[in-house]
Structure 1
Amino acid sequence: MPPADRDAQTSSYDGPVGGWGSAKGMAAIARVARPGPGAFETLRRQNKPGGLMCSSCAWAKPPNPHVVEFCENGAKATLWDLTSARCGPAFFRDHTVTELATWSEYDLERAGRLTHPLRYDAATDRYVETTWDAAFTQIGRELQAADPKATTFYASGKAGLEASFLYGLFARAMGHNNLPDSSNMCHETTSVGLKEVIGSPVGTCVLEDFDHCDMILHVGQNPGTNSPRMLHPLQQAAKRGCCIVAINPLREKGLLEFANPQSAWQMTVGAPTEIADRYLQVRAGGDIAALTGIAKHVLALEKAGGGVLDHAFLDAHCHGLQDWMAWVDATDWADLEQVSGLTRAAMEGIGAIYARSKAVIGVYGMGLTQHVHGSDAIAALVNLLLLRGNIGRKGAGCSPVRGHSNVQGQRTVGITEKPELVPNDRLRDLFGITPPMDEGWNTTVFVKALLEGRAKVFLGLGGNLARAVPDTDRVAEAWGRMDLTIHVATRLNRTHLMPGRSSWLLPCLVRAEEDMQDGTNQQVTIEDSFSHIHGSIGKRGPASPHLLSETAIIARLAEATLPVNPRMPWDHWTRDYGRIRDLIEAVYPDDFRDFNARMDQPGGFYRGNPARDRDWQTDSGKAQFTAPAALDATGLGRDPGLYRLITLRSNDQFNTTVYGMSDRLRGIEGDRMLVMMSPKDMAAEGLVAEQRIALAGDAEDGIARRVAGLRIIPYDLPRGCIAGYFPELNPLSPLSRADLASDTPATKGIPVRLDLA
C-alpha cells in the first residue's frame, strides 16, 4: 500500500462543531478502518459504567451518561482500534523498513493492527516473525546485560493503572527511575507549576462544578478538536447564562458554536448553541500579560469601591498577596497590551465580568503550558482565581484538560522519574527490593542522553516518541544507534522504523478487546482529568490470537529479566488483575481505598484532592501568589522578522495518530504540510495564498533547523503568530527551549523565520 496522492483543498467551514459534520467525519473514518459489526456495540457501551472507557482523551465519564456517551474523536479512536486491516508477517515480507520509513504517519496507520511478535533482521532490513517465548527469552538476556542507568521505560499515557503500576515496579526493581511519559510532553507544567502554587499537581474541579459556575475562563485549549465531550457541559453552562470567555490565538470552532448530535432539534431545524460570550485572540505566549491585565482591573475595582476581593479567604488561605499586588501595580498597561496583543479595554471588560461572578472555573490546555514560562502562566491564572476565593468551593477551581486517557493515572501509580513522588518505603517492605533514589530521566533528559550517545536501551509502552519530541530530525539520526529498542504497540508507526541494533515489536490488545487471563475476561482501570477512577472492560474478540495484553507483556518481560523473587510473582499477578489492584491499594492506601469494590462505581470513585479541601500542601502552607519571571511566556523579544510558531492537531488526529487527512473545522483538507498565517502578515511579506515556502528555526543554540514545502494558508491569527501541524513541524522545535520549571517542550511559541529562498 504505497502512500496515496491527495489533493489539497482549503475553504471556510461554516458549520458548528458536532451536528452532521461530526457524523460525516466519523463515517469517513469508518469507511477507511472497516471495523467489524461489533464496533458499534462497543461505541454504545463506551464511557458507561460496566463498559469500555475511551482510549482517546481523559475527559470525565458521568454517573448518568447520555444514550450516546462518545464524541467524534472517541469514535474515531475506537473504530481505528477495531479496524479489519492487518499488519502481519506477510506485510513485512513485502516491505523493507527503509521503504516504510518514507511513508506518512497516516499511511503507516492504515496498514492495520500488528498481529505477531516481530524482531528486526538487519540482513534483510525487515521485521520477521518470532514467538513470544523466543522474544521474552532474548529480550530478558539483553536487559540483564544492560546498564539500568542507560535504560529508559517510556509510557504513552494509554495503558491502564494495572499495567502502569507493574511497569514502574519493573523499572525500580531493575535499578532505574528512567520513566518518562507523555505527561512530560504536555501537562508536566501542571504537575510542577500548579503544585508549587496550590500544593496539588492536578486540577481541583470535579465534573459537577460545571453545573454551578457562572463564569468559565477557557485558556489555550480547543475542545472541538481535542476533547469534544467537554462541549456538553460547556453547552449547558452557556444555556443557563454562564459567561464563557475564550482566550486563544486561533478562533476555534469548538469555542464558537456547537450543535449537539443527541438533540433532534439541533440536528434538524434548531440553531447551534453559541459557546463563548467573549473571545480574546491573545498572542502566542501572551497569556501571562492577559491574565495579569484582567487581575489589574479587578484590583482597581476593589480600590474604587471595595467588596470585590474575598478578604476572608485571602487572609486565611493565601501567602504573598501584598508583594504580588505591588508587582501588578508597577506593571504598565502599555506592556500588558503589547505582550498580550489585546487592548486595555478588552482586558478590563473581562475583569469587570470576573469581579461580579460568584463561581469561576479556569480551564486550560497546552496553549497555556507549553512555553518557556509556562509554569508562570499557570500561576497567573491561579493568581486571578485566588482573588475571589475561586479554588476550593463548589462551581469554582482550576481545571486542566488532559490528553491521553490515563496519563494522569499513570503518574498516580508511580510512572515518574522523581523518587520523592513514590512511596519507596512501601515498595521495600512489600517487595523486598531496593528502589533507586537518584532522579531518573524525563523525556527531555532522555532525548539529550540519546543525542549524546548515553541512552542505550528503550522500552516503549505505546506511543510514537521519536516523532512526538522536539528536534525530530536529530532524534531520527540518533535513535538507531541504541543497543536495544522494544515497542509494545497496536499499529506500526515511524518510531518503529528506526530500529536499534536489536529491535522488537510486541503487539498488544486494544482496550476494546477481551483480555482473557486464566479463563476470565479482565478489567483494567483508568483515571480521568477530574481524579476519578473508572473500571473498563473490553468485549470484542482480539485482532489476532497472537496478541497479549500490555499487563501480560510487562509481567513476562519482568519475569525474564529480574532475579527470582518470591515476593514478586509476576505470573500470579497477571492471572487476576484484581491482585494487582490490591497491590496498588497497599502502596497508595489513601488514594485507592477499597479499590476493587469501588472501581465500577458510576461516574468513577474520587481519589480526592487536598487543594479542593483548601488544604494547601505548599512550602508556606497556603495558596501562593506569584509574580512571573517575565510577562511574555515565550521568552522571545520583539524582533519584527521573528514569528511565533504554534504546533497543533487537525480534526482527524490524536497526538501523532493521524486517522485521516481532514481538518474539517478549519476548512483544510488533504494536506498537512502547511502553515497558517495572518492575511496582514502575508501582505507585509509579499506572500499569496497557496504559495510554498520554508520555515527556518531561530533558536539560540546554533543548530540549523528547516522544514520546506509548506503551503501558506490565510488564517485568522494575531500578527506575528503562525500555526502548523504536529508532528510535521516538530523538527523546528528546539530541545533547548522548554518550560524552565518542568522541562515541558515549548511547542506553542517556537521561534522561526520565513525562508523564501
Structure 2
Amino acid sequence: MKRSELDPDDIHIKHYDSPTGGWGSLKSLIKKAEENGLLASDIWAMLGEQNKPDGFMCVSCSWAKPKDSGPFEFCENGAKATIWEHDPKKCDPEFFASHTISELLEWNDHDLEKTGRLTAPMKYNPASDKYEPIEWDVAFREIAAELKSLNPDDVVFYASGRASLEASHMYQLFARIYGSNNLPDSSNMCHESTSVGLPKSIGSPVGTVQLEDFAECDMIFFIGHNVGTNAPRMLHPLQEARKRGVPLVTFNPLPERGLVRFKNPQSPAEMLSPGPGTEMSSDFVQLKAGGDLSVLTGICKHLLVLEDEAQRQGQPAILDHAFIQEHTSGFEEFCAFLRAENWNEIVTRSGIERDEIERIAALYASKERVIANYGMGLTQHREGVENVQMLCNMLLMRGNIGKEGAGISPVRGHSNVQGQRTVGISEKPELVPLDKLAAFYRFEPPRHKGLDTVETCQGILDGRVKGFVGLGGNFSRAVPETALVEKAWRRMELQVQIATKLNRNHLLTTRATYLLPCLGRSERDTQVTGDQWVSMEDSTANIHGSFGKRAPASDKLMSEPAIIAKLALATCPEKADVPWQAWIDDYALVRDAIERAYPDDFKDFNQRFTHPGGFHRNIVACKREWKTDNGKANFITPRNLNADPDIQVNGKNILTLLTIRSNDQFNTTIYGYDDRLRGIHGTRMVLLLNANDIARLGLKEGEMVNLRTAVEDGVERRVEGLRVVSYEIPAGNCAGYYPELNPLMPLFHHSRTAHVPAAKSIPVHIEKAGRQEYSAARH
C-alpha cells in the first residue's frame, strides 16, 4: 500500500518520560489542527462544546461525562476525533472521478481518511472502476431491490459503536423487519467477554461503577487497559483519587504512560508547575500477556490464607461473610479450587512472584471500597469470559459489588458501543424484547440466533454471507484473518456503507456497492420539526443528550436515522407498522419508542436525557439485586489457569504477540504516525521486544523483521517489514500495532464462549527480513 510515513532516516525512537497530558498533549493538538488547516478556525470554540450538557458528545471513547462540567471536557484523543471529523478537505465526486478503486487500494488507511469528508452518495461502477454519484432516492430504490433479491439470513447488518441510541434502535428494527438477526457489532471484537461473563456472575451485562464512586473508593485496580490512549478523560477521577492517597494497582504487560504520570492540561497550576505531574500507579505489576487469570487466582487464594489467620487470632474477618451468605452462590466450590491451585503454576503463568501477589492481596484486604477497572487486556483471550468472572470473584469475596465507592468497571471503547446493545443491536434474540417489538409494530421478527462478528467473517470466507450493510466502521480492517477476509469480500452481492470518511473497507467492492455519507456528531441535524437531539450511553450506563450545532460538511448529507428510515421505507414498507417518516421528522418519537420497549431503563427518557450528567440506567446489581437464574451473585470457578489454551508457544524464536493502539489513533482510524507516549515517531511498523529476547534471538535494535503466525493449519499468515524496538515488555512477549498486525490473527483464535478475537495472545515466529535497515535515529 502507498505509505505517507516519513523517510526511514527521519524515523525516531526515543524514550518518553514526560507525563501524559501536559504540554505534550497541547502541542500534539496544535500540530494536528495545523496539519488539517484548522489552526485559525473555530475548532477551539467547538471543542469547548464537547461533552457539555448543551453540546455534542465525543465520537471517540465512551467514558463518563461529569454532571458539573469544567471549561474543557475533552481529552487529546477526543479533540483529535473532532478535528478529524471537521477536516476541511472533501472526498467528493470530483475526487472519485480522478481516482480508480484499484489505485486507491494502494493507499494506506491514514491517507484514505485524509481525503476528507464524504459529501454525496456514490455507487461503484465496475466498467470505470470508480465510484460515481447517485441520487439519494435512486440509491434507496436500488439498494431495496438488491436486499429483496437476497435471503435475509444471508445479509449482515453491522454497527460500529458510534451511532446514536435513536439510530441504533431504528437499525435493529429495520434489520428484523427485513428478516435478519445478523446484527454483529464492535462489542463482538472487544467486550463481548464482559457481556457474556457478567450476566452469569452478577446478572448485568454492564458494570456497576458510576463516576461518583471514584470519589468514595479507597483502592483502585486497573487491569489490561491503556487509559492514556483509549480513555484519557478517565485520568481526571483517577488523579483526584491518587491525590487523596488512594492506592492504584495496575496489572499490564506494558508500563503505559497514562498510568505512570499525568499532568492535567486543563489545570493552569499544574501546567505551570515544573514538577513531573501526579504519580498514577502506586503499584505497577508487570504480568505476562494472558497472566491475568493466574494473578487474580493468586490474590483470591491468599485472601483465604489471610482469612484463616484472622480467625485463628480472633481478628476481624477478611472476607465479607454476611454478604457472601446472603447474596452469593458457589463460594464453597470456588474456595476448594483456590486451595487446590499450585503456587508454582500461578507464578509461572502470571510471571509475578508469589510474595508480590501476596502483598497486593494484603493491600486489597485492608481496604473497604474497591473499584476494579479493566479493558481488552482482560477480554481478548480464549478464556476472556473466565478472566472477567475471576475479577468478579475477587470483588465478591469482600462484598465490593453493590455498594458506594466499589464495583466492577469495564472500560468500553467506542462512544455508544454499550448503548447500541442496550436498545437492541444484538445477534442474540434472547437479549431483545422481540415479543414487544412484534406487538408494537405488527410483524413477526426472526427468532433464531444471528451471526456475530467471527461468524460473519466465516460466512464471508465460505460464501454464505451475500450482503453487508455497515453503520460506520472499517469492518474488514478491524477483524482477524484480514488478508483472507479482504480476498473473499469481493464475492458478495451487495455492500452498503453508511460513513463520514473513506476507508479501506469501502474499496472492497462487491457486485453492487453503495457509499452513503452521513452527518457527523457535532453537525446540525435539521428535520421538519427543527434541529434534533440524539443520545448515547457511556461506560457507566449513563444516558446523555448530544446536540450538534456546526454546519454540515455538505448539503447532500443525511443523518443516520434518516438514512436508516429511508432504507426501511424502500425495502419493507408493508411488512410492519412503523411510523418511519414521523421518526425522521422528530427523533423524540424514537426516544418514546425506546422507552416503550425498555421502560425500566428509559423511564421519562425525553424529560431526563438532556439534564447535566444525564440519567443512570436501572442497573439493579448496583442495589444488590441479581438478575441471574438463581437470583444470586455467583462465584464461578474456572476450568484451569490457562487463559489461552489450544495455542502452544514452543521454540526459542516463537513469542506471544499482543496488539496495541497508539495515542495517534482511535480504533482503525489513524490520525498520524507518531506514538508520543511510547516515543515512536514516523512509523507504525514496529515490533516491541524485551532486550533479552532481542539478544537471545540474535537481533539488533532497528533491524527489520517479519512475523509469521506460529500455527500449522495450512494458512500462511505474515506481516513483513517491522522494525525491532527495545521496550519494557516481559520476556517471551512482543507487541505491535492494530490493525496492521491483524493479518496474523487466525479467525479460530477467539474467546471460547464469547467469540472475541484473542488479540492479546497470538503466537508468532520472528524471521529476519531479507533487507536490513538500521537507519532509525536512537536518542
Cα pair 2:649 2:655 within 8 Å, conserved: no
SS at match of 2:48: helix
SS at match of 1:250: coil
What are the within-5 Å matches in structure 2 for residues 246-257 of structure 1? 246-257=250-261
1:311 alignment counterpart: 321
- Of the candidates 49, 53, 57, which is equivalent to residue 53 of structure 1? 57
Shift of 1:352: 0.7
1:311-351 per-residue CA deviation (whole Å, 9 max, x = no partner) reads 10011111111111111111111110000000001101100
The code of the aligned residue for 1:719 comes to A
- Of the candidates 388, 391, 394, which is equivalent to residue 404 of structure 2? 394
Cα pair 2:252 2:286 within 8 Å, conserved: yes
SS at match of 1:283: coil
Shift of 1:666: 0.1
Q: 1:336 to 1:566 in 2, by over 3 A?
A: closer
The number of residues matched between the two structures is 757
Cα pair 1:676 1:724 within 8 Å, conserved: yes
Q: Distance in 1 between matches of 2:274 and 2:268?
A: 8
Q: Distance in 2 between matches of 1:465 and 1:477?
A: 14
Q: Distance in 1 between matches of 2:274 and 2:324?
A: 45
1:165 alignment counterpart: 169
What are the within-5 Å matches in structure 2 for residues 208-357 of structure 1? 208-271=212-275, 272-306=277-311, 307-357=317-367
1:11 alignment counterpart: 14
The code of the aligned residue for 2:571 comes to T
1:708 and 2:720 matched: yes
1:93 alignment counterpart: 97
1:346-386 per-residue CA deviation (whole Å, 9 max, x = no partner) reads 10110010000011001000000000000111111111111
1:470 alignment counterpart: 480
Q: Distance in 2 between matches of 1:577 and 1:620?
A: 39
1:22 alignment counterpart: 25
Shift of 1:5: 4.4
SS at match of 1:45: coil
What are the within-5 Å matches in structure 2 for residues 557-636 of structure 1? 557-564=567-574, 567-635=577-645, 636=647
- Of the candidates 476, 494, 499, which is equivalent to residue 509 of structure 2? 499
Q: Distance in 2 between matches of 1:5 and 1:714?
A: 21
1:456 and 2:466 matched: yes
Q: Distance in 1 between matches of 2:707 and 2:718?
A: 6
Cα pair 1:193 1:741 within 8 Å, conserved: no
Q: 1:178 to 1:295 in 2, by over 3 A?
A: same
1:621-671 per-residue CA deviation (whole Å, 9 max, x = no partner) reads 211112212312122445243311100111100000001111000000111
Q: Distance in 1 between matches of 2:759 and 2:498?
A: 27
The code of the aligned residue for 2:578 comes to M
The code of the aligned residue for 1:4 comes to S
Shift of 1:585: 0.8
What are the within-5 Å matches in structure 2 for residues 83-162 of structure 1? 83-162=87-166
Cα pair 2:194 2:206 within 8 Å, conserved: yes
Q: 1:566 to 1:619 in 2, by over 3 A?
A: closer
2:746 alignment counterpart: 734
Q: Distance in 1 between matches of 2:404 and 2:648?
A: 41
Q: Distance in 2 between matches of 1:448 and 1:653?
A: 28
CA-based RMSD of the aligned residues comes to 1.2
Cα pair 1:215 1:242 within 8 Å, conserved: yes
Q: Distance in 2 between matches of 1:75 and 1:461?
A: 23
- Of the candidates 649, 658, 667, which is equivalent to residue 679 of structure 2? 667
The code of the aligned residue for 1:275 comes to M
The code of the aligned residue for 2:55 comes to G
Cα pair 1:223 1:230 within 8 Å, conserved: yes
Shift of 1:109: 1.0
Q: Distance in 2 between matches of 1:196 and 1:444?
A: 22
Shift of 1:566: 7.2
SS at match of 1:14: coil
Deviates further, 461-470 or 696-705: 696-705
Shift of 1:3: 4.2
The code of the aligned residue for 2:135 comes to T
Q: Distance in 2 between matches of 1:594 and 1:321?
A: 39
Deviates further, 38-47 or 119-128: 38-47
- Of the candidates 446, 469, 485, which is equivalent to residue 436 of structure 1? 446
SS at match of 1:15: coil
Shift of 1:565: 5.6
- Of the candidates 370, 383, 399, which is equivalent to residue 373 of structure 1? 383
The code of the aligned residue for 2:159 comes to A
**Unaligned segments of structure 1, at least 5 residues:** none
Q: Distance in 2 between matches of 1:289 and 1:701?
A: 29
2:44 alignment counterpart: 40
1:66 and 2:70 matched: yes
Shift of 1:221: 0.4
1:452-485 per-residue CA deviation (whole Å, 9 max, x = no partner) reads 0000000000000000000000001011110000
Q: Distance in 2 between matches of 1:227 and 1:108?
A: 25
Cα pair 2:329 2:632 within 8 Å, conserved: yes
Q: 1:150 to 1:44 in 2, by over 3 A?
A: same
Q: 1:566 to 1:198 in 2, by over 3 A?
A: closer
2:433 alignment counterpart: 423
Deviates further, 600-609 or 725-734: 600-609
The code of the aligned residue for 1:24 comes to K
| TM-score, normalization by structure 2 | 0.96
SS at match of 1:504: strand
Q: Distance in 2 between matches of 1:176 and 1:700?
A: 36
SS at match of 2:488: helix
Shift of 1:239: 0.5
1:698 and 2:710 matched: yes
Cα pair 1:42 1:52 within 8 Å, conserved: no
Q: Distance in 1 between matches of 2:223 and 2:715?
A: 32
Shift of 1:270: 4.3
Q: Distance in 1 between matches of 2:37 and 2:411?
A: 31
The code of the aligned residue for 1:297 comes to H
**Unaligned segments of structure 2, at least 5 residues:** 312-316, 770-779
Shift of 1:702: 3.3
SS at match of 1:31: helix
Cα pair 1:555 1:574 within 8 Å, conserved: yes
Q: Distance in 1 between matches of 2:417 and 2:175?
A: 18
Shift of 1:33: 2.1
- Of the candidates 171, 195, 198, which is equivalent to residue 194 of structure 1? 198
2:772 alignment counterpart: none
1:384 and 2:394 matched: yes
SS at match of 2:631: coil
Shift of 1:567: 2.3
2:650 alignment counterpart: 639
Q: Distance in 2 between matches of 1:264 and 1:418?
A: 49
Q: Distance in 2 between matches of 1:311 and 1:496?
A: 56
SS at match of 1:525: strand
1:595-624 per-residue CA deviation (whole Å, 9 max, x = no partner) reads 111111110101121211111122232111
